[in-house]
C-alpha cells in the first residue's frame, strides 16, 4: 500500500489517495474499490467510466461517506477542499455534505422526498447550512430554479416531485444540490434514466454550470457518449481500479488499455457496416469477492501474457497526463486505427460468459 502524501492546500480540489473500500456485510468481504488515486482540479470535470461492478459508484459515494459505516471498511485518504473527509465527525460531516460537496443521483424520484414540495426541500437545505430567513431562502430557491431553467419557476417551487416530468425533476435535484453553493458536484449517472432529447439538455446544463460557477464535477457514467459531452478528463474503471486516465480527447482517440480499447470497439456506432459483427469482450466482469492476483482484466484480454496473471500492473505514463495500468501498453499503440479498417471481430474468440 502506498503511503498517503496529499497536501490539503495543493491545487486539486478533490484528491483521493489509495482508496480501498471493502464491504464486510456478506459471507465474504467484497473488495469493491482497491487502490484508487484520483484528483480533480477546481473547475474541472472528470468522468468516471465503467461497467456495473467496476467500483465507480462506490468510489463516488465514498466522497460523501454515504456507505453504511458498520458494514464498510474504507482505507486511504480523501481530501476535498481542505477537508479530510474520512476523519470528519458526524456533525462536521453533516456540515460538509451539501456545503462543500453535494451529489445528484440517477433517479430523482427516489432521491427527492415525496411528501414535501421541492421548494420546501431546497429551503430546508439552505437553512440547515446558513442562518437566513425562510423568505430569503425561498428567494434563493427561486433563483436556483431560474438558474437550472425550470419553466414557470414560481409555480414549480410548490410542486411535489411526482407532479414533475423526469427532466424537470432532474433539474430540480440539480438546483437542490447547488443550494448551498458547493465547490464540488458529484453526479451518479445523472442522465441514464432520461430520454435522449432530455439527456442532452441536462448534459449541456451541467457543462454550463461547470463553466459559469467554476464547479468541479465528478461524473459517474457507463455511457461514453454522455461522458464525452461533459468531461475534460476520463478515468476508466475496471475491477475496482482506475485502469486508464487521461484527457478526454486522448482517451477517445488513442485508448491504450485493452479494456478501454475493447469498450470503444464494442460500441455499435453509426459508421458500422451492416451485418458486420460487433467486437465483443468475451466473458463477464470479475467477481469482486474473488479478485484474481494479477490484472483483473487479464482473462478477458486479447493481449494477455502469463505475466499479466501474476502481477497487478502499476500505472504507466503514456504522456504526462495520460496513464494506463497495463503491462502490454507496447501492444496497443495505434490499435484503435488498425481495427477500424479491418473487420473488428478479432476480440471475440469465444461466446461463453
Partner 1 sequence: MSIGISVEHIGADPHGDRGGPAQPLLTVKKLVKHFDLKKSFLETLNGGGKVVRAVDGVDFKVLKGETLGVVGESGCGKSTTARLLMHLIEPSAGEIVFNGETVGSPALPLREYRRQVQMVFQDSYSSLNPRLTIQDSIAFGPQVHGVPKREALTRARDLLARVGLEPSRFAERYPHELSGGQRQRVNIARALASEPRLVILDEAVSALDKSVEAQVLNLLMDLKDEFGLTYIFISHDLHVVRYISDRVMVMYLGKVAETGPAEALFERPLHPYTRALLSSMPSMDPDHRTEEAPLAGDPPNPIDPPPGCRFHTRCPHAEAVCAQQVPSLESENGREAACLIHEPGSGHSDARAAIYAA
Q: Do residues 319 and 246 make contact, with C-beta atoms less than 8 angstroms apart?
A: yes
Q: Do residues 339 and 262 make contact, with C-beta atoms less than 8 angstroms apart?
A: no
* C-beta closer to partner 1: residue 18 or 223: 223
Query: Counting contacts by CB under 8 A, is residue 226 touching partner 1?
Result: yes
Q: How far is CA 153 from the centre of its chain?
A: 29
C-alpha cell at 292: 484474481
Query: Counting contacts by CB under 8 A, is residue 201 touching partner 1?
Result: yes
Q: Which of residues 275-334 bind partner 1 (CB under 8 A)?
A: 275, 277-282, 284-285, 300
* C-beta closer to partner 1: residue 95 or 299: 299
At its nearest, how many Å lie between partner 1 and the CB of residue 319?
Answer: 16
Q: What is the DSSP string of 144-165?
A: HHHHTT-SSHHHHTT--GGGS-
Pairwise CA distance, residues 48 & 56, whole Å? 6
At its nearest, how many Å lie between partner 1 and the CB of residue 2?
Answer: 30
Residue identified by cell 460538509 is: 96
Q: Which of residues 138-157 bind partner 1 (CB under 8 A)?
A: 151
* First-to-final CA distance of the chain: 32
Pairwise CA distance, residues 6 & 15, whole Å? 7
Among 73, 94, 110, 165, binds partner 1 (CB under 8 A): 165
At its nearest, how many Å lie between partner 1 and the CB of residue 173?
Answer: 15
Query: Counting contacts by CB under 8 A, is residue 51 touching partner 1?
Result: yes
Among 223, 291, 316, 336, binds partner 1 (CB under 8 A): 223
Pairwise CA distance, residues 99 & 197, whole Å? 31
The vertex-284 CA angle with 282 and 286, nearest 5°, equals 130
Q: Which stretch binds partner 1 (CB under 8 A): 15-23, 93-101, 112-120, 223-231?
A: 223-231
Query: Counting contacts by CB under 8 A, is residue 167 touching partner 1?
Result: yes
The vertex-107 CA angle with 117 and 244, nearest 5°, equals 140
At its nearest, how many Å lie between partner 1 and the CB of residue 227?
Answer: 8
Q: Which stretch binds partner 1 (CB under 8 A): 40-48, 140-148, 154-162, 226-234?
A: 226-234
Q: Do residues 182 and 139 make contact, with C-beta atoms less than 8 angstroms apart?
A: no
At its nearest, how many Å lie between partner 1 and the CB of residue 251?
Answer: 9
Instruction: Quote the DSSP letter at residue 97.
Output: B
Contact residues: partner 1, CB under 8 A: 51-52, 151, 165-168, 195-201, 203-204, 207, 222-226, 228-229, 248-249, 252, 262-263, 266-270, 272, 274-275, 277-282, 284-285, 300, 348, 351-353
Amino acid at each position: 500500500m502506498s503511503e498517503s502524501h496529499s497536501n490539503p492546500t495543493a491545487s486539486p480540489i478533490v484528491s483521493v489517495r489509495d482508496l480501498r473500500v471493502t464491504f464486510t456485510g456478506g459471507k465474504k468481504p467484497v473488495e469493491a474499490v482497491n487502490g484508487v488515486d484520483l484528483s480533480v482540479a477546481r473547475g474541472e470535470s472528470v468522468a468516471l467510466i465503467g461497467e456495473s461492478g467496476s467500483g465507480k459508484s462506490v468510489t463516488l459515494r465514498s466522497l460523501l461517506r454515504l456507505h453504511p459505516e458498520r458494514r464498510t471498511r474504507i482505507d486511504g485518504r480523501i481530501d476535498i477542499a481542505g477537508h479530510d473527509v474520512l476523519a470528519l465527525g458526524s456533525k462536521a460531516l453533516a456540515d460538509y455534505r451539501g456545503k462543500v460537496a453535494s451529489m445528484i443521483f440517477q433517479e430523482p424520484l427516489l432521491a427527492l422526498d415525496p411528501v414535501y414540495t421541492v421548494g420546501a426541500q431546497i429551503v430546508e437545505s439552505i437553512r440547515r447550512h446558513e442562518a437566513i430567513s425562510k423568505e430569503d431562502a425561498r428567494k434563493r430557491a427561486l433563483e436556483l430554479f431560474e438558474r437550472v431553467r425550470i419553466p414557470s419557476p414560481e409555480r414549480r417551487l410548490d410542486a411535489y416531485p411526482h407532479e414533475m416530468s423526469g427532466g424537470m425533476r432532474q433539474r430540480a435535484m440539480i438546483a437542490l444540490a447547488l443550494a448551498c453553493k458547493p465547490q464540488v458536484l458529484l453526479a451518479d449517472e445523472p442522465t441514464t434514466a432520461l430520454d435522449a432529447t432530455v439527456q442532452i439538455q441536462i448534459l449541456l446544463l451541467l457543462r454550463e454550470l461547470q463553466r459559469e460557477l467554476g464547479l468541479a464535477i465528478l461524473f459517474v457514467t457507463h455511457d461514453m457518449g454522455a461522458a464525452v459531452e461533459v468531461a475534460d478528463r476520463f478515468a476508466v474503471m475496471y475491477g475496482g481500479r482506475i485502469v486508464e486516465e487521461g484527457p478526454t480527447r486522448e482517451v477517445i482517440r488513442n485508448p491504450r488499455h485493452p479494456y478501454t480499447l475493447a469498450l470503444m470497439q464494442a460500441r455499435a456506432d453509426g459508421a458500422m457496416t451492416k451485418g458486420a459483427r460487433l467486437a465483443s469482450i468475451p466473458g463477464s466482469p470479475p467477481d469482486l469477492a474473488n479478485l484474481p492476483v494479477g490484472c483483473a482484466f487479464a482473462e478477458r484480454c486479447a493481449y494477455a501474457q502469463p505475466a499479466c496473471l501474476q502481477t497487478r500492473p502499476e500505472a504507466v505514463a503514456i504522456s504526462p497526463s495520460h496513464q494506463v495500468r497495463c503491462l502490454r501498453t507496447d501492444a496497443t499503440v495505434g490499435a484503435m486505427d488498425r481495427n477500424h479498417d479491418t473487420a473488428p471481430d478479432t476480440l471475440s474468440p469465444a461466446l461463453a460468459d
